[in-house]
Chain A
Amino acid sequence: MSWTCLLAFAGHSALDPAGPQAARIGDLWWLMFWVCSAVFLLVMAALAAGLVREEEPARRRMNRVVTGAVIATALILFVFLFASTGTGRALASLSSADPVSVEVTGHQWWWEVQYLDPVLAQRVTTANEIHIPVGRPIRIRTVSHDVIHSFWVPNLHGKHDLIPGYDGELWLQADRPGVYRGQCAEFCGHQHAHMAFLVVAESPARFAGWLAAQRQSASPPATPLAQRGHDLFVQLQCALCHTVQGTDANGRIGPDLTHLASRRTLAAGTLPNTPGHLAGWIVDSQTLKPSNPMPATSLGSNDLEALLAFLDGLK
């Protein structure tokens, strides 16, 4: 797989719906688009005609025309009001007794994703990538502890703000498999531009397989090089911020890296997840994503190689 494919996605557009809610909003958009286009053309035609005409119209006739136009405006607005309210009800009607429950926490500038489960040990924590089964409603709890972010996957649904102090809830569903890009939609600081994520919609069977794999602890280092990388990871500052399940690294500030190598992107959709990009990120994350909280590291090339070998093993 060439690295450009990793950043590729089936869609990032409100006009290419892949779920029932985006589809309903899409229908509303096209209704409003066509009606508004017609209104615009009519007004411009009236303006052009009025400028070309030479005779003065009868006052009473003009009164009737203007009154009629105002009434027509009000009627169109009523149509829009009903269409909009109807769509709003349809959007709110998606629910299920047995949804996939995910908690999404917005951080400056990445997304923490936790699959909720009554059994604590069954919970899965990952980052910047949300896998969902096709055809099943997903309940997303939205949380933020720093500033306001906004969760938005245009192909699936509209935005939902993550406001500190107001935990929210959002339902969505994908009807066809694909990788849909999402991005933070509320200005949240310097790296608002690089706060993206991917929603990977797949068949229920593949989703179940993925979830089971994510529940595992990290696989132990397979080579001496990787083992040295593991030791570096735990001893150096990495473990202060990052967790790798099954090791002593349990920092909670940065993304959970237990299955880092299984993800498609690095740094919240900024870079494709390849060893080269990962190395660049570790050495000089501030050039790639200025102001992000990850400090630059000064590793020797041997140490870097070992660290990469360890991280590459976190499938």
Chain B
Amino acid sequence: MSVAEVEDVGYAGENADAEERRRLERTWWSPKGLRGWLTDVDHKAIGKRYVGTALVFFALGGIEALLMRLQLARPEARLIGPDRYDQLFTVHGSTMMFLFAVPIMLGMGTYLVPLMIGTRNLAFPRLNAFSYWVYVAGGLLLYAGLFTNTGPDAGWFAYVPLSGPAFSPGKRVDIWAQMITFTEISSLAVAVNLITTIFKHRAPGMSLNRVPLFVWSQLVTSFMVVFAMPAVMLCSLMLALDRLVDTHFFNPSEGGDALLWQHLFWFFGHPEVYIIFIPALGMVSSIIAASTRREVFGYLPMVMSLVATGFIGFGLWVHHMFATGLPQLGASFFTAASLMIAIPSGTQIFCWLATLWGSRPRFTTPLLYVLGFFFVFVIGGLTGVMLGSVPLDLQVHDTFFVVAHFHYVLIGGAVFPLLGGLSFWLPKMTGRRLSERLGRLSFWLVFVGFNVTFFPMHQLGLQGMPRRVYTYLPETGWGDLNLLATIGAGILGLGVLVFVVNALQSLRHGEMAGDDPWGADTLEWSTSSPPPSYNFLRLPTVAGRYALWSRRDDQPEVTGLRSDRREMLVTNLLDAEPDHRDVLPGPTIWPFILACGVAMTFIYAIFNPWGFVVGAVPCAVALIAWFWPRGDMDRDVIMEKRS
């Protein structure tokens, strides 16, 4: 038999099942302990690590935010000086964007996508391990800088010339630029991995028009990563060159251009927002479908909206630069694009409202977070429409109004769905349910705390308070609202704390979740909680958009995959028809070694350009070992490809 076949398994003896399970367990086994940590290539283990690590950075970024709020609680406070404050807001922004939001969204994808599309692992398991370690290296670098008073202090968008060699001497900005390089390499690797997996490893029957909305959102995000990240890698590299080897890309007095940075950075920076919040939209769809036990209204417009957001998201970077004095006509184009993106967002909101209409949903914690998302995100979206207008933007740009706006969009649009999504999927990851009582408490604290923190900032911005100020004069009259915002931040922090306590407590005391605690529709709920290392005893097939709801009693399963080695089924892109089998590599140390080599290269290069030369040695060794031919296994696959 040359290709795995879809076969009806009307009866399969329990003994045969047990035997198959034993074989799969042996084949897909991961080492335990430290060795397991360093060599594991299982998408579930790595996905969980991504989520856990990103949550640690979320906590660190949150602590930085609370410190800033304490400093701003009253005018002319002397709690934190300008030098420390600038490091705090730079590291806060960089952490939340690069070390929390993007990694946790891609981490959820890493964990969930193979389960949702019915396969055993990501397409490139070693690349997956590598991307995680590179991401960790970037995070450690940034915090090593902060804790040694070398934290970057030029803002998370590091405008030149302020971030250039003349105005930011020392190594602070270099650390920022290299941290960007680390996290971008990591994101690009994950994106490529997810795209390939989604295109080539879907369960038979899951044609593109049956792909779950969450998976669509991961696909669109991954494509955005592939097109957006190179822009920021380019500009951070140019900045590093300006700083390390005296090039003059951004130095106006030597023919360089200060505005070039802004174009390159925002060509990445604006899509970045959508990279963060599109996966969250996928989570909202999953939670709404499960809570209402209905199909999400308008699958086609939902998918088209995601794709449209992905395209339009690249056409509005200039609205971050309206105050630079652009020509009217050019600016109008970007106004139109900025307004236009409200159409796909609005379409999705309306479709969800239609799904919820009259459905008498179950008001569980995940749904509460989704309802909070509606409230907060709609406000953020509407203020976003205002910011798209050039004249209005000129007034509120770079003020606390903008701070309020993007926290409404990013916390509302991404963190609320994420907290809902974690409440929703943690039972699958750990096998235990979270407490509903604590879940509700955390929701209300987060919801109230969030609005008390950020709503007053709209008013502060209109009253003239610029962002990124470490203090303000009492005469400005900004004190009361700032104090209110600080109180709100405390409540918000408490809410997050309750969420974490709830999650940790569930690990020990949570009620057992069972396979499908929500009665949800996607394939991950058809396997045990937590799923076995091989995900499914037999790979499933799919008969409709909502895989489990449309499953027939005699739904066929995939047979013919060898269980004595890590075989995966490869299906074709459009219709997910079985095409051939592929053999995946098992646990290996080399991705970790390569990540160490890459980290050494970039960190050494901060201090000496020879770092690239020296670092090439360990990287080359690791790459040679990584790609050392696997002998028979590779040949088998080639031989078995359908001619």
Contacts and interface: CB of A to CB of B under 8 A. Distances in A.
A81 B359 CA distance: 36
A50 B357 contact: yes
A85 B335 contact: yes
Contact of B328 (A12, A88, A152, A290): A88
A57 B325 CA distance: 51
Interface residues of A, number: 82
Nearest to B475: A7
B353 A32 contact: no
A146 B347 contact: no
B451 to A, nearest CB: 13
Given A32-B385, A291-B82, A158 B476 contact: no
Interface stretch (B28-36, B464-472, B539-547): B464-472
A283 interface: no
A30 B610 CA distance: 58
A56 B292 CA distance: 11
Contacts of A49: 357
A290 B470 CA distance: 11
A25 B258 contact: no
B78 to A, nearest CB: 9
Interface string A110-125: 0000000000000000
A10 to B, nearest CB: 12
A132 to B, nearest CB: 18
Contacts of A166: 252, 258-259, 324-325
Given A70-B350, A81-B339, A56 B86 contact: no
A159 B353 contact: no
Given A65-B354, A185-B397, A29 B392 contact: yes
A122 B143 CA distance: 55
Nearest to A25: B391
A32 B162 contact: no
Interface stretch (B177-185, B187-195, B372-380): B372-380
A74 B345 CA distance: 12
Contact of A168 (B298, B325, B350): B325
A85 B347 CA distance: 25
A253 interface: no
Given A148-B258, A193-B469, A53 B358 contact: yes
Interface string B359-394: 111000000000100110011001101101111111
B351 interface: yes
B608 interface: no
Nearest to B81: A290
A210 interface: no
A4 to B, nearest CB: 7
B531 interface: no
Q: How large is the interface on B (under 10, 10 to 19, 20 to 34, 35 or more residues)?
A: 35 or more
Nearest to B255: A165
B391 A87 contact: yes
Nearest to B463: A13
Contacts of B469: 192-193
A291 B86 CA distance: 12
Interface in A19-53: 22, 24-25, 28-29, 32, 36, 39-40, 43-44, 46-47, 49-51, 53
A1 interface: no
A255 interface: no
B161 interface: yes
A66 B354 CA distance: 7
Contact of B342 (A24, A73, A150): A73
A185 B398 contact: yes
B349 interface: yes
Contact of B162 (A40, A55, A157, A189): A189
Nearest to A14: B395
B297 interface: yes
A196 B475 CA distance: 12
Contacts of B395: 14, 22, 25, 29, 154, 158-159
Contacts of B378: 39-40, 43-44
A291 B159 CA distance: 20
Interface string B240-259: 00000000000011000111
B347 A46 contact: no
B340 interface: yes
Contact of A185 (B301, B356, B466): B466
B346 interface: yes
Residue of B162, B347, B359 ringed by the most chain A CB atoms within 10 A = B162
A158 B361 contact: no
A148 B157 CA distance: 13
Nearest to B361: A51
Given A13-B463, A77-B343, A184-B466, A57 B357 contact: yes
A128 to B, nearest CB: 14
A299 interface: no
Contacts of A160: 323, 325, 394
B528 interface: no
Nearest to A71: B343
A80 B389 contact: yes
Interface string A160-189: 110111101100000000000101111111
Contact of A183 (B332, B343, B466): B466
A84 interface: yes
B414 interface: no
Given A43-B349, A62-B354, A80-B389, A187 B468 contact: yes
Nearest to A49: B357
Nearest to A77: B339
A158 to B, nearest CB: 2
B382 A40 contact: yes
A214 B471 CA distance: 32
A88 B379 contact: no
Among B324, B374, B375, B383, residue most surrounded by chain A Cβ atoms (within 10 Å): B324
A84 B389 contact: yes
A226 interface: no
B396 interface: yes
Contact of B167 (A39, A85, A146): A146
B331 interface: yes
Contact of B298 (A9, A66, A87): A66
Contacts of B155: 187
Nearest to A24: B391
Interface string A271-303: 000000000000000000011000000000000
Contacts of B336: 81
Contacts of A50: 353-354, 356-359
B158 to A, nearest CB: 10
A213 interface: no
B399 interface: yes
A14 B464 CA distance: 7
Nearest to B345: A73
B358 A55 contact: yes
B162 A187 contact: yes
B335 A47 contact: no
B464 A12 contact: yes
Given A36-B386, A70-B350, A150 B323 contact: yes
A188 B285 CA distance: 42
B257 A147 contact: no
Nearest to A292: B82
A88 B390 contact: yes
Given A62-B354, A161-B323, A185 B391 contact: no
8 contacts: A29-B395, A44-B378, A65-B354, A92-B328, A148-B161, A160-B394, A168-B325, A191-B82
What 4 pairs across the A-B complex have the smallest Cβ distances? A158-B394, A165-B252, A193-B469, A84-B389
Interface of B: 81-83, 86, 154-155, 159, 161-162, 167, 252-253, 257-259, 297-298, 301, 323-325, 328, 331-332, 335-336, 339-340, 342-343, 346-347, 349-351, 353-354, 356-361, 371, 374-375, 378-379, 382-383, 385-386, 388-399, 462-464, 466-473, 475-476
